Amino acid sequence: MAQAWARKARMGSLKKDPYEELSMDGELRLYSIITTMVVCLAYGNSTPRAFEMMGLSVASKNVDLTIVKIVALGVIVAGLGSAIVNGVALAPPRRRSSFVWGVKGLFGGPLAVLQLRVLDELKTNEEIEG
């Protein structure tokens, strides 16, 4: 904690950037909502009953929950991979918060990685003025 404070004091304070807030807007929010719906549909206990209510039989070849579960697993793995890539590989060289971008990667998936890749390195207020 003290080392982080000393490092920030040496570097100067970083400028404020709206992307460094732990908020998800636009496409990241939409991706998170769709991901949640897919995972709930795949692994929810009431999914077979819901399909039966809609007239679709899970036992028949019309609906195969295995495919939905594979898609959901892929989305979960993509989120975990994006969290690791953002938090470990992309955020530190750009002087951005590994925690914030790791969380954004977890919930925003590959879209968060794309968003972080186009952002510039954060500059200190002294670097901007000088």
**pLDDT digit string, tens, across residues 35-44:** 999 999 889 8
Q: Which residue range(s) make up the domain with 108? A: 25-121
98 is a domain residue: yes
Q: Domain count of the chain?
A: 1
18 is a domain residue: no
The yes-or-no verdict on residue 12 having pLDDT over 60 is no
2 is a domain residue: no
pLDDT digit string, tens, across residues 15-71: 678 899 999 999 999 999 999 999 998 898 888 888 788 887 666 555 678 888 999
pTM tops 0.95, yes or no = no
Tell me which amino acid residue 38 is.
V
Using CB atoms within 10 Å of the CB of residue 31, give its burial: 0 to 12 exposed, 13 to 18 middle, 19+ buried.
buried
